[in-house]
Structure 1
């Protein structure tokens, strides 16, 4: 298995650590003469300034936008297998309770990955109540270790044990079901799934608008956790997606706002992938509204562009098909893995569709919100 993780900030971190280590002994000798102290302090300041400048230059060179920087990428899992399962078709990521990563394939497989190396540790097959495969797209690891998994076939959200046993199934509004049962288009339903801070509210994002909804508005559905630990239907919101794009993933930030991925593909051109910060506060509950038109007084979720991934440095990445930036592919999964000096550490992954012309690629970002 080939691991090619490029962490561009590592060099700056090591330079800073080296500078501080070198500075320590020079400042630790009380008998050093004034001239020596001056020289040592000058050397320390120079080393520290050099390290700071290196870090600043690295951040600047790796900037995708003022809010987002690219730390690196990894194609380590591209076209690999684990325990007989193809490691690809990845549509969602989550942080497990032990700090490892859970990675969901849209072919009904749930992988456990090492958070540092991305090496697979386990794979669990998933199925519906009849044993049929899912079109599994969204993933949440709940506080008890169970897995909430969305499938866009019906659509549905089921709760699974860590071993893949179905524990529960959540209710879905009729309008969000695939036609003719509802108004959703095939292959355009629950893609994103996230649990808001506090763990009481679950949110799923539709990928595309419902039939009859216009103005580029897609619906975000929420559920509230009951005292018994189940989820009941709650508010629904309208999200204004960019023209020609859909919503493959949504992730709650620590302050309750949302990181939203928007994605599209144009044959012969390649992918468009944009990252937005969205604020559902003050948005209208659209659960009781038939057709959304954008002219009906509905207050949609407010959004702010964080970056268009096409502006990120390619860092030597290559593409097997036309792309406006060779770094790009079919980015579909997103998870917040931690914080670093006020910024969110964000991991993205692409769904290669088990296609020789596409790549399973992880992108490591720092995001300032």
Structure 2
């Protein structure tokens, strides 16, 4: 692993963040509890709060990654849940990362309690020839870059898509490694999802925390786009993942169809069962179908609660984490949306609280 030193402007000691997991190996459903919207005008230490593409949480404290490539940073915030409702989110501090050697488009964040490091994914910029990356930051402000599969590199024969690389990130339930997910298929693996049709596998890879090396990988098929785009753009991909039991995951699929205004997003949470999948780590292409993908089961469709959300907006939900234990003893999930700093039209920074029912 290559060691690089980062400068932090507003450094604080990182609090431990316990990784939750579910005792059951099967989740039956997710139940919507409530929504909390952060004002667009919120300023913390001179930065506009927005572009939140990943979240990790522990005992009321959260770490939120911002995907502003020109001012890479993450926030520490206090999340309050009272009577099984999100009642307040206070952004306490901002951590700036200065790294002149790389183009950081940071997407995922976790806190590794075993190694006492923050773990971050970056999409890089394929069109600029900058590869995606996975790295950790320790309490001394040092970064270790972990090795990701060669096929994800900007100049690989498998051709990752620009703005479609590493987004999803999860700690493994055994705390020995990290799972990273590609947002879109490699060009060598298949096309992007289209309206009402998709043959689009994305790769989800396990990275060993001790060696920093890829260990195994499986494929997960994306849904077709369900809303017919009224314009010339539509996309569906994986923005985040969360392993809740060994080889079982919550996976967000987030689609967008142009021409629908604030109603263009389709967001779903699936359970992915990877226990019987083929290890695709050494497969240069997935087009021949000679592998067994993860089995997916729909757990929650945000269309079912659209009428309960602010202005009926299901926003650009990109981050998922375990939340606090609820009053009935059930675990919870907290999700966050990336408002793109409202550069693409009206959007909101939206936090969602869900109950896990097993």
C-alpha distance after superposition, 1:238-271 (max 9, x if no partner): 0111124200000111455110000111112210
Match of 2:352 among 349, 355, 363: 363
1:22 is matched with none
Match of 2:258 among 267, 279, 304: 267
Q: 1:221 aligned to 2:205? A: yes
Indicate which of 82, 93, 96 corresponds to 1:122.
93
Structure-2 separation of matches of 1:225 and 1:207: 22
**Cα distance in 2, alignment partners of residues 365 and 316 from structure 1:** 13
Deviates more, 1:150-159 or 1:246-255: 246-255
Equivalent-residue separation in structure 2 for 1:94 and 1:145 (angstroms): 14
Structure 2 CA distance, aligned partners of 1:290 and 1:254?
Answer: 28
**1:109 and 2:73 matched:** yes
177-186 or 350-359, which deviates more: 177-186
Matched, 1:347 2:334: yes
Instruction: Write the distance in 1 (CA, Å) between the matches of 2:222 and 2:339.
Output: 23
Q: CA deviation at 1:145?
A: 3.2
Are 1:249 and 1:333, in contact at CA under 8 Å, matched by a contact in 2?
yes
1:82-101 equivalences under 5 Å are 82-96=44-58, 99-101=60-62
**Is the 2:306–2:314 contact (alpha carbons within 8 Å) kept by the matching residues of 1?**
no
Per-residue CA distance 1:313-351 (angstroms, 9 max, x = gap): 532511xxxxxxx13011111111134446430111110
Deviations 1:180-232 (A, max 9, x none): 57521111011010011120121000000001212210000111232xxx422
What count of residue pairs does the alignment treat as equivalent? 291
Q: Output aligned runs, 1:28-43, within 5 Å.
A: none
Unaligned runs of 5+ in 2: 1-27, 81-87, 125-130, 191-198, 226-235
1:142-153 alignment to 2 at 5 Å?
Answer: 142-143=112-113, 144-153=115-124
Q: Residues 284 and 254 (structure 1 numbering): CA distance in 2 closer, same or farther, change over 3 Å?
A: closer
Tell me whether 1:202 sits opposite 2:178 in the alignment: yes
Question: What is the alpha-carbon distance in structure 2 between the residues aligned to residue 313 and residue 243 of structure 1?
Answer: 20
Partner residue, 1:71:
33
Contact 1:79-1:88 within 8 A present in 2 as well: no
Contact 1:89 1:106 in 2 (8 A): yes
- The answer for the alignment partner of 1:240 in structure 2 is 221
Structure 1 gaps of 5+ residues are 1-65, 319-325
State the alpha-carbon separation in 2 of the partners of residues 306 and 178 from structure 1.
Answer: 34
CA distance in 1, matches of 2:349, 2:149: 33
| Higher relative contact order, chain-length normalized (CA < 8 Å, sep 6+) | 2
Scaled by the length of structure 2, the TM-score of the pair is 0.76
| Kept in 2: contact 1:70–1:313 (CA 8 A) | no
> Residue 179 of structure 1 contacts residue 185 of structure 1 at CA under 8 Å; is this kept in 2?
no
TM (normalized to structure 1)? Answer: 0.74
Partner of 2:21: none
